[in-house]
Structure 1
Amino acid sequence: MRDFDGKIVLVTGASTGLGAAIAVGAATRGAKAVIINYAKSAAEAEATAEAVRAAGAEAVLAQGDVGDDAACRAIVEAAALFGRIDALANNAGVTKFAPNHGDLDALSRADFEHIFAVNLIGPFQMIRAARTLLEASDRASVLMTSSIAGVTGIGSSVAYAASKGALNTMTLSLARALAPKIRVNALCPGFIDTTWFSKSLPAAIVDRVRQGTIETTPLQAASTAEDVADAGLFLLSDAARHVTGETLLVDAGLHLGYAPLVAR
């Protein structure tokens, strides 16, 4: 597939996991250049850059926390030399693990503010900073990495689920506001078997979650980053040129077990 031929792609949170898979996937599909944003993981971001170059695309590293507006503008500036951005993947995200949603003391105001700053305000700031370069493209697209948590109210914490639910709503608002020049869609993964979990939780818990996912999802699968990235790349590509304001659940069918979604 060469559905990204000549495209300029910017991916936030691209040092590992889903972001890295999207960045490398775009390069493999013909992207001219991929701007790889990362907040702290310089060595891992460079590894992603090497994989992007090996796939035939130019790789540009751009450090910055998307929760900071000035950093968002600096990240976008890394793409300015190309004169446009064809695809923006707002993938950067954070959480605080507080899986007992009934424990209201597990999260502080500061936790909420940090999670919303990165997961919700960050994507808004990135789109605002990139708008001129996106509009310079013939067919610009934006992908929001949301979560099944934002649809079902499950997940690592109440704050995380709330931030993703708000991101889904913002996707609708911006899809209307930025059309026809820019498409905006959201991807809602379920469990993704990446280091995002293993760095934050004990191995035994991660193993239990992985096995539970395999046993309870209709497709009996624990998704890899590449499994989910393919769906994200579809929404970013011209193959989805008539798709905007869509929320695509990519969770091996996990959502089918939640009553409010059975008749969705």
Structure 2
Amino acid sequence: MSGIRAGGQGEYRLQGRVAVVTGGSSGIGAATVRRLAAAGATVAVGYNAGADRAQALVAELPGEGHLTLRIPMEDSAAIGAAAAEVERRLGRADILVNSAGVTRAVPHAELDAMDDASFDRILVTNVRGPFATIRAFAPLLRRGGDSVVVNISSLSGSTGLGSSIAYCASKAALDTMGMSLARVLGPEIRVIGVSPAAVATDFVPGRGRAGVEKQAATTPLKMVAEPDDVAMAVLAAVTHLRLTTGSTIVVDGGRHL
């Protein structure tokens, strides 16, 4: 049949490939940058306000050609300019990791505490921003013919439990959007979600490591999730899940059970 490709595609090597990581200056994004660079990729480290962090990270990466790139999730024009800069300076993009995100800790029962501005900011950053980024980089990703988008989601998107109702809603939207995009971006681009539970970062204001350890104690594996644990799952999705698209991989120590 016309258009059918043979399986057994073999190893997905990162040497010679270009990866773009939004939210790449800290947390899960920075850990992912380190893993991709160590595996041989040239990485564009996307940031919003963390220019100094991004530059310091690039300075410590193995390999050559890495760069920093301002990719603010709320500004689609700036995202488009970032894609053009990657094309100009690196000539290609094979991997896009959407790690940029935001939340605000609001107890779910306190409906009036979730103001419209906070709700809108969370949805724009966590849903529209990743969509705009995929839209901007899609031509470059398609050109490679064997590319992958990884969206950093959250278990909150399926359980409805998390830092705020708006955050849970945003991650559920990201997962569903990933299914829609996987249908239309194949066969040249795979779209995979990676969905951790609480991770030992400062992403959720006020939670702290003690809160993450408390959650980890309730899981079957009883392990605290570090940013590198999620980065390893991202790397596996890129390099080994060659026949996976439109799926979200749960990386939560069994918390969903």
Structure 1 residues 203-250: Cα deviation after superposition (integer angstroms, max 9, x where no partner) = xx524312312311111111110011111111122x222110111010
Query: How far apart are residue 123 of structure 1 and its match?
Result: 0.8
CA distance in 2, matches of 1:101, 1:211: 21
**8 Å CA contact retained: 1:35, 1:78:** no
The one-letter amino acid paired with 1:125 is A
Kept in 1: contact 2:200–2:209 (CA 8 A)? no
1:201-240 equivalences under 5 Å are: 201=206, 205-237=207-239, 239-240=240-241
Superposition pairs for residues 82-93 of structure 1, below 5 Å? Answer: 82-93=90-101
Q: Given the alignment of the two structures, is residue 102 of structure 1 paired with residue 109 of structure 2, yes or no?
A: yes
Q: CA deviation at 1:128?
A: 0.7
CA RMSD between the two structures:
1.5
Match of 1:259 in 2: none
Gaps of 5+ in 1: 257-264
Report the structure, 1 or 2, having the larger helix content: 1
Q: Does 1:58 align with 2:65?
A: yes
Letter in 2 for 1:26: L
- Could you tell me whether the CA contact under 8 Å between 1:213 and 1:221 is conserved in 2? no
Amino acid at match of 2:47: Y
Q: TM-score, normalised on structure 1? A: 0.89
1:1-264 pair list within 5 angstroms = 3-31=13-41, 33-52=42-61, 55-81=62-88, 82-98=90-106, 100-197=107-204, 200-201=205-206, 205-237=207-239, 239-256=240-257
For structure 2, the 5+ residue unaligned runs are 1-10
TM-score, normalised on structure 2?
0.92
Displaced runs of 4 or more, over 3 A = none
CA distance in 2, matches of 1:134, 1:101: 39
Aligned with 2:200: secondary structure?
coil
Q: Work out whether residues 12 and 238 of structure 2, in 8 Å CA contact, stay in contact via their aligned partners in 1.
A: no
Match of 1:173, as an amino acid? Answer: S
Q: SS at 2:217's partner residue?
A: helix
Q: Over residues 75-128 of structure 1, what are the superposed CA-to-partner deviations in whole Å (9 max), with x where a residue is unaligned?
A: 212210322210000110001111x21110111111111111110001110011
Distance in 1 separating the partners of 2:47 and 2:188? 27
Counterpart-to-counterpart distance in 2, 1:230 and 1:168: 20
In percent, how many aligned pairs have the same letter? Answer: 38
